Structure 1
């Protein structure tokens, strides 16, 4: 618009100069008459009306642009410190209220106010990526509706005081650094492979149960296995066989009463049987060569026989 008005003004100025030159030349060459003719100099007619129209249109455009600029500054809350909820400070950029980012955000550090938490919210999930200087992905944390996933070489959870490692996981091992691991599920803890721990203890007034429903249960230690029930009973049950094995030492059972129930009773053939022998109430504990225990009627001497029916059929 300004270029068009400038072109019109330049053209009118050239025409005015040419008319003045022609008029001056004619006045000098022609003889003077008693009644000289005067020619008006300036912009007249439709050119003048067009010029006024363009000047008025330019003025209206400038007023509208100025009003729109003032309205945008007012709506967007532009100040010398920033725009809207965005404030530029010496320490960086400060956002107040709820902020929405439609494109990726690249920052070095995000901090919340001292008296309010930092909330990251998304309609689908929140993903935090870490990359190296070459742009390769080195770590990723995704918080979704179904799960929280972390992809990294090593995952650590540290305590607020001292920075002690409470939990760490990598491809080789998982380390739990807490003083106590507590499992509150009704089904307990299920381990698919071996477990190495120095101490297993139940909650006070609760029973400790080690169970293998479909396989065997093996407890091994290079310096011994200690099973202690200070205020209750100790019970070991199995479907087939229970093995207590000591390769270099002994198995020591120390109790006021040791009971072995459901032991079979072996037969004993005396050299001088008596038909009027009283009913047998005292038995002798015998052991077969294979280690099986059985009861034999007690007599004046040992009644244990390696040829007993219990030893032969075991």
Structure 2
């Protein structure tokens, strides 16, 4: 057993020595120079890479130059841009500013040096007011033909903002000024009733109340006072003129009361002759209220069965 193991070791050694000798005999001799394999980009690839790098450099320089030019032209600064300045109070604009899209602001004020704020537009200027949900609650439109206000209530106040001068809503229009003046040549036209405590003309001008095609009615719970301090008071009507008092009386108090063009209540052959012969007449009233003249005599000549009363 020991002898076989010794033979295996010796045979293994011989085999190893043979392998070494065989490898030395088969060893190839190296050539005189080592093989070199190039690594990198050459030819058209290298030229394309340099071209793209040069193009990128030119683009960066042009971009930088445009950025500097825009900053210079727009006048950028730490406070804002050009005429636009940003501060703690908000935005300050100098000169004329143009907005192409809607502008949402809380307050617009003019410059301190000028007390005029001008809003210009080629068509119209519209100011909208909205609630928290975005619903339109008020609108003011200034156009070339009209100024329109859409709101629940329109109010005009005095300069200090304390006194209400004018208010209008869907139900009524109220004016609280001391004087309302209409300077138009045709006056003021009202389609319905007018309620006012006083209607007065300006100094040295006439006051005229006229209804060309309908009826003119003046009513008051405690009476209507029509007076002309220094001129004439003229009331004319194409048809009937009615003075009515349901509980009181109608008083005509003047030095001279003239009732012109009253008809004669008795028949005469010639009215012109009767007017020349008769100098004094008395005024008679028919039961219907019609007034006529009757020749004055020693007694009253008024007759309820007069021709004037019968024709009325």
Counterpart in the other structure of 1:104: 102
CA RMSD of aligned residues (A): 2.6
Q: Secondary structure at the match of 1:70?
A: helix
Q: Secondary structure at the match of 2:58?
A: helix
Q: Which runs of 5+ in 2 are unaligned?
A: 1-26, 269-275
Deviation at 1:65, TM superposition (A): 2.2
Counterpart in the other structure of 1:171: 170
Q: State how far apart, in whole Å, the 2-side matches of 1:73 and 1:140 are.
A: 39
Deviates more, 1:80-89 or 1:195-204: 80-89
Cα 1:63–1:285 shift into 2, 3 Å: closer
Cα 1:74–1:30 shift into 2, 3 Å: farther
Deviation at 1:286, TM superposition (A): 1.9
The Cα offsets for residues 31-80 of structure 1, whole Å up to 9 and x where unpaired, read as 789x7669699868547666555544443333222212211211221111
Cα 1:50–1:280 shift into 2, 3 Å: closer
Q: Which of 64, 84, 99 is 1:86 aligned to?
A: 84
Flag the structure with more relative contact order, 1 or 2, with Cα contacts below 8 A and sequence separation at least 6.
1
Deviant stretches of 4+, over 4 Å: 29-33, 35-45, 47-55
Is 1:151 matched with 2:150? yes
Q: State how far apart, in whole Å, the 1-side matches of 2:239 and 2:253 are.
A: 25
Q: Which of 63, 70, 73 is 1:72 aligned to?
A: 70
Counterpart in the other structure of 1:19: none
Q: Secondary structure at the match of 2:88?
A: coil
Q: State how far apart, in whole Å, the 1-side matches of 2:41 and 2:282 are.
A: 146
Alpha-carbon contact 1:268-1:297 (below 8 Å) kept: no
Cα 1:138–1:41 shift into 2, 3 Å: same
Alpha-carbon contact 1:125-1:145 (below 8 Å) kept: yes
Q: Which of 282, 293, 296 is 1:295 aligned to?
A: 293
Deviation at 1:235, TM superposition (A): 0.4
Deviation at 1:234, TM superposition (A): 0.3
Counterpart in the other structure of 2:137: 138
Deviation at 1:134, TM superposition (A): 0.9
Q: Secondary structure at the match of 2:208?
A: coil
Alpha-carbon contact 1:268-1:296 (below 8 Å) kept: no
The Cα offsets for residues 124-146 of structure 1, whole Å up to 9 and x where unpaired, read as 11111111111111111111111
